[in-house]
Amino acid sequence: MFNLEGKRAFVTGGSSGIGYAVATAYAERGVRVVIADIADASHAAAKIGASYVHCDVSDEDSVAGALRAASDLLEGLLDIVVLNAGVGDVGPELKDTDQALIEKVTKINYWGVVYGLKHAGAVMNDGASIISTSSMAAFINVPGAAIYSASKKAVVSLTEMAALELGNRSIRVNCVCPGYTDTAMGSAEEGRAICEAFTALGRPATVDDMSGVYVFLAADASRYMTGQALKVDGGWSCGPTSALLERITGSATAPG
């Protein structure tokens, strides 16, 4: 059910963080992987026996070209496409957010997934799996993160729409919504403090806490799942923790 041997995968944003952990987890399971990233990942890819193609996800031609190049490199249609590239820029309140941040986050996080979903089908096998990276920020808002949260909510919506449109080819489309994960995007120190208070599990995620979910969504084990957003957030979205309640009210349980 979890066998991925011999499959072909394309992972955007695969040069670091969650994307690299996913590419590594696939490669370890016998998947032939192409990493697509704006940053040169030739060396990182070679280390895990993968290949690298340049791709700027905010540019439609670049995304379509990278998907075709991956299929050519791997000599066949793709079985797994992971649309994971993203930026985590946050700013002041919405009224003071500058246009450059709005455009950057929207183009990479939202349009990047639009272009991936638009062009992936042409180079994928029927029965394949597309997995995008959204965020728990799609469900829980934090002041200053309006554009980021909206871009990640858009990924959930696009996932549902693409699942409907590609279902007739048995291509499944799902997204992962990570909680605070220790990568270049955020400092471990901030993440730990926030997660100790806000998550049931009391800690930030590591990239390896994420990669297993991408293995599951690529594998036959999830074959009847499509159009879903999986929250992998240590329980952040469940509600306030006992520790947080105690800090605010002095009692670890709901006020009677």
Ligand X SMILES: NC(=O)c1ccc[n+]([C@@H]2O[C@H](COP(=O)([O-])OP(=O)(O)OC[C@H]3O[C@@H](n4cnc5c(N)ncnc54)[C@H](O)[C@@H]3O)[C@@H](O)[C@H]2O)c1
Can you give the binding site for ligand X, defined by CB under 6 A? 12-13, 15-19, 37-39, 55-58, 84-88, 108, 133, 135, 178, 180-181, 183-186
Residue with Cβ nearer ligand X (76 or 186): 186
Per the annotation, the verdict on 135 as an active-site residue is yes
Per annotation, catalytic residue among 129, 134, 135, 149? 135
- Tell me which DSSP letter residue 181 carries: B
Q: How many CB atoms within 10 Å of residue 207?
A: 19
Per annotation, catalytic residue among 20, 110, 148, 214? 148
Structure tokens at 4: 């991925």
Residue 251 to residues 126, 200, 201, 246, Cα–Cα distance (Å): 54, 17, 19, 4
Residue with Cβ nearer ligand X (194 or 245): 194
Residue with Cβ nearer ligand X (12 or 226): 12
- The per-residue DSSP string of 1-34 comes to ----TT-EEEEETTTSHHHHHHHHHHHHTT-EEE
- 3-state SS, residue 252: coil
Residue with Cβ nearer ligand X (125 or 237): 237
Minimum separation from the CB atom of position 22 to ligand X (A)? 9
Per annotation, catalytic residue among 51, 62, 134, 152? 152
Helices and strands of the chain, counted as H and E runs: 9, 7
Q: Considering Cα of 37, then 40, then 41, then 46, what sign does the dihedral take?
A: positive
Per the annotation, the verdict on 231 as an active-site residue is no
Minimum separation from the CB atom of position 133 to ligand X (A)? 4
Helix runs in 29-111, H state only: 42-47, 60-73, 99-105
Minimum separation from the CB atom of position 24 to ligand X (A)? 12
Residues 6+ apart with CB under 8 A from 206: 181, 182
Structure tokens at 66: 């990278």
Strand partners, 12: 36
Are the C-beta atoms of residues 96 and 140 closer than 8 Å to each other? no
Per the annotation, the verdict on 107 as an active-site residue is no
Minimum separation from the CB atom of position 180 to ligand X (A)? 5
Residue with Cβ nearer ligand X (125 or 206): 206
Are the C-beta atoms of residues 78 and 123 closer than 8 Å to each other? yes
Minimum separation from the CB atom of position 11 to ligand X (A)? 10
Q: Which residues are catalytic?
A: 135, 148, 152
